[in-house]
Amino acid sequence: MTPNNPNSTNTTNTTNTTNQSSLTSRRVTYIIKILGWSNAAILAQSLAIPESTSQPIYNHIIIGFWTIKYGPVTACLLWDNPIAYFGTSSIYGKDNKSIRTSFLQRYRSKGIKVFLGIFGNHELPATSKIDPITSAIKLASYVQEMGFDGIDINWNDNYAFDIGIAENWIISFTRKVK
């Protein structure tokens, strides 16, 4: 649950990372579920859009999820096609690109980076024998088109580790997606 939206089911993790000479706090929330798909105010709160919520407490937001086979699923559907949910007369913009640009400007003005969560429990890429190189190329194109700052690999293909194919898949994928 995020303090910005008591109805959401976002997961929050706080970790400290060393940034060259200083210690910085990385405050992360995963946006994986949107409640109230027909109400623009609730949609904006669910995405933790600055100005739609109280003072943001996160500096990294991960929108989940994107899959190789199906493309955007769950909350990523909203990011992929915001006009379907906000309409053409939104305060955020009049088309998909302008709405996403508005979101990104609002996040970045508050020092928030926006990442795309991939896979989750929606896809088992190594076990399903999905090509990591083709997948990485497809993902990189999508990340650039959507304006994300990067990706978060949410790996649930644990069986692939058991049978010894996960490591090579992940290595090939991450080398190409960079």
Residue that wins the pLDDT comparison between 123 and 4: 123
Helix (H/G/I), strand (E/B), else coil: 25? strand
Percent of the chain predicted with pLDDT > 70: 85
pLDDT in tens, 8-51: 333 333 343 434 434 568 899 999 988 888 888 889 888 888 88
Percent helix / strand / coil, the chain, rounded to 5: 35, 25, 40
pTM above 0.85, yes or no: no
Q: In Å, what is the CA distance from 52 to each residue of 103, 107, 109, 131, 139?
A: 11, 11, 14, 40, 29
CA distance 3 to 105: 22
Q: Tell which residue, 70, 156, 55, 59, has the closest CA to residue 115.
A: 59
- Grouping H, G, I as helix, E, B as strand and the rest as coil, residue 50 is coil
Alpha carbons 136 and 119: distance in angstroms, whole number: 12
In the predicted model, what is the mean pLDDT of residues 124-144? 97
Render pLDDT for 42-73 as a digit per residue (tens, 0 to 9). 898 888 888 876 667 889 999 999 999 999 99
Structural domain boundaries of the chain? 11-177
CB 25 within 8 A of CB 50: no
